[in-house]
Amino acid sequence: MDSQTPLFQSETSKTTMVLTLPKISDVYANLPHPSPPPKHTITECGHRTRFIIALQGSLFLAALLGNVICWNAALIKVAEIETSPLYEDYLNGTKVDWKNKTLDISEKRVDIKPIQTSLLFAFSFLGSAMFVIPAPWIMKKIGTYYTQVFLGLLTTIAAALTPWATVTDFNILYFLRFLQGIAQCNCYPVIGSIVNNWAATREKGIFLAVLTGYTQLSAVLTTPIAGYLANHYGWPSVFYFQALFCGTLLFIWTINYRDNPEKHPFVSQKEFSKISFGKETSHSLHSSSNQHSKIPWYRVFFHLPVWACMISAVCYIYAVQFNISFLVMYFAWILKLPITAAGSIAALPLAIEFILQFFVGILSDKIKFLSEHTKVRLFCTLTFSGCGIGLILMTFIPPEQTLLATIVTVLSFCMLGFNAGGFPKSAVLISPQMPAIVMDCIQGSLTFGLLSGSFIAPGLTPNRTFAEYRILFWIYGILLIFANIFFFIFSKAEPIDFAPTTTTTTKENSDEISEENENYDESSPNLSMKGKNGEPKFY
C-alpha cells in the first residue's frame, strides 16, 4: 500500500459520488422478450409479394374500367347493317326485322340513336356518381377485399348480359350500364387502401405509379382487343371477352388479396417487417381509427391541400378522357388521318404514359436530395404545365402540317405520365388520418370530370372544325395551367391534422423517422435499427 494514501479520510474531506444510469435501450435489450411466433408461408415469392398485389390491383381496376369503355369499339358494329346476313334482303327492298329471333345475337343489328348513345355513357357515370359517397363507408364496414369482390361480380355479370340486353330492351341495357358505373365508384379509395396497407414507407411512389396507371392500361388493353374481336368474331364477343377477362382477375383477387398483409400466405416475416416498418401497430392503429372515426367527414373540405388535389384530379381527367375518347376523332376529322392510323396513334400516348408512370414512381421514391413537397410540385408541374402548354401550342399549328401537329399532340399527352409523383402521391401523404374520405374526394372529382368532360368536348366541337378544336384546346390548356399553379401554392406532402385537438407528427419526429428509414437493415427480419451513435434502438 502506498504510504501516501491514508487509510481513512477525515470527515472534512469531500467525497463526490456520481450516479450513472444505464441507457434505456440497454435496459430494454436485457429484459426477456418473447420471440414472435414464426410466420408460416406457402412460398415467399422472393419477398416481393407486395408488388404482385400492386400489379394485380391495377389489372383488376383496368378490367372494371374496360367494361365501360369497350362500348367504343362495339357500338359501330352493333348498328352496322352492312355485315348482317339480312343486308341483301334490305337492298332488294324487303322489310327487314333486324332483331329477328331466328338470328344469332351476333347477326342482329340495333339502330342506336345519338341520344341513346349519350345515355349509355351517362348511366355509367350516374352509377359512379351516386355511389361515390357511400363507397368509403361500405369499405370501412366490410373492407376493401369484400367490397371489390362484390363490385367485380356485379360488373362481370353485367358485361356478360350486355349483348342480350342490347337486342332485347334498352331499358335493361341502361340498368346494366348503371351497375357497371357503380363498379367505378371507389377506384381511388381502393388505390389508397392498397398503398397504405401494402406499400413500404419508401415504396409508395412506385405503388401509386402502378395503381394509378390503370386508366391508361385499360385503354391500351381494351381498345385494340375490342376492335379486333368486333371485326372478326362479332360485336357480342367484345362483352363476352370482357366478362371472361374481368371474371379471371376477380378470381385472382379473391384468392390472392388480403386487407392485412400479415395474413397473406405468401408474405414472409421479412417482407411483413419491411411493409410494417414505420407504421402504427395493429393496437395503436385500432385506437387511432376509433379516434379518427369521431372526426366529421366534412372537415377535409376545410383544408386547401385537399382542394388542390381535387382540382388537379378534375383537370387531369379532362385531358385523359380526351386522349382516350376524343383524340382519335381529332386525328381523323381534323388531321385527316386514316381511321386505322388514327386509332393506333391515339393509343401511343397512353402506352407511353403507363411506362413513364412506372419510372416516375421509382424516381419519386429514390430521389433523396429533394423534399417530398418539392417532388410532388415538380412532377405536378411537368404533368399539368407540360400538357397544358402543349395543348395551347397545338392551336397555332394548322391541320395541313399533319406530321408536326401529330408529334406535338402525342408529346403533349405523354406529359400526363409524370402524374404518378404529383397529386395522387400528395393525396396519400396528407391523408393518413382519414385516407378513405380524402381518396373518395379524389374519386368524386374524377367522376365529376368524366361526366362534365363528356359534354364539354362534343359540345364545343359540333361541326368538327379546327376553329372549334382551337377553343377546346385553349380551355383545357388554361385549366391545366391553373390547376398547376393552385397545386403549387396550396399543396402539402405531410400528414394533415383534420381534428383541431389531435396532435400530429411534428417536424422533428418526421426527421427522426426519415433517419430511421436510412438506418433500417433490410436483411434482418426483425424491426431493429441503429441510433445516431450506433447503439441499437428497439420499439
Q: What is the pLDDT of residues 320-368, one digit of tens each?
A: 989 988 888 899 889 988 877 887 888 899 889 988 988 888 888 888 8
Specify whether the CB–CB gap between 491 and 373 falls below 8 A.
yes
DSSP string, 478-515: HHHHHHHHHHHHH---S----STTSPPPPHHHHHHHHH
- Mean pLDDT, all residues of the chain: 80
- Of the CA atoms within 13 Å of residue 63, those in its CB half-sphere come to 29
Angle value at C-alpha 172, between 167 and 175, nearest 5 degrees: 135
Residue 387: partners with Cβ closer than 8 Å, 6 or more residues away: 319, 412, 413, 415, 416, 477, 480
Q: What confidence tier does 101 reach under pLDDT thresholds 50, 70, 90?
A: confident
Q: Which position has the grid cell 406530321?
A: 403
CA distances from 100 to 95, 210, 297, 322, 348 (A): 12, 46, 54, 37, 40
Residue 247: partners with Cβ closer than 8 Å, 6 or more residues away: 152, 156
Residue 124 to residue 239: CA distance in whole angstroms = 15
pLDDT at residue 532, rounded to an integer? 46
Specify whether the CB–CB gap between 198 and 50 falls below 8 A.
yes
pLDDT at residue 7, rounded to an integer? 46
Q: Which one is predicted more confidently, 77 or 337?
A: 337
pLDDT at residue 228, rounded to an integer? 82
Q: Return the DSSP state at 3.
A: T
pLDDT at residue 38, rounded to an integer? 54
The number of beta carbons lying within 10 Å of the beta carbon of residue 328 is 21
Residue 230: partners with Cβ closer than 8 Å, 6 or more residues away: 73, 74, 76, 77, 237, 238
Q: Which of 110-114, 276-280, 325-329, 433-437 has the lowest mean pLDDT?
A: 276-280
Exposure class string for 24-56: b at 16+ Cβ within 10 A, else e: eeeeeeeeeeeeeeebebeeebebebbbbbbeb
Specify whether the CB–CB gap between 309 and 426 falls below 8 A.
yes
> Which pTM was predicted?
0.71
Sign of the CA dihedral 22, 24, 29, 33?
Answer: positive
Model confidence pLDDT, tens digit, residues 111-167: 777 777 778 878 888 888 888 888 878 888 889 899 999 999 999 999 999 999 988
Residue 204 to residue 424: CA distance in whole angstroms = 10
Residue 69 to residue 72: CA distance in whole angstroms = 6
Show the domains of the chain with their CATH numbers: 45-86+111-279 (1.20.1250.20), 302-498 (1.20.1250.20)
Residue 406 to residue 410: CA distance in whole angstroms = 6
Residue 111 to residue 167: CA distance in whole angstroms = 10
pLDDT at residue 516, rounded to an integer? 44
Q: Which of 56-60, 195-199, 328-332, 498-502 has the lowest mean pLDDT?
A: 498-502
Nearest of 451, 452, 470 to residue 461 by alpha carbon: 470
Query: Amino acid letter at 47?
Result: H
536 φ, ψ to 5°?
Answer: -70, 145
Burial class (CB in 10 A: 0-12, 13-18, 19+), 418: buried
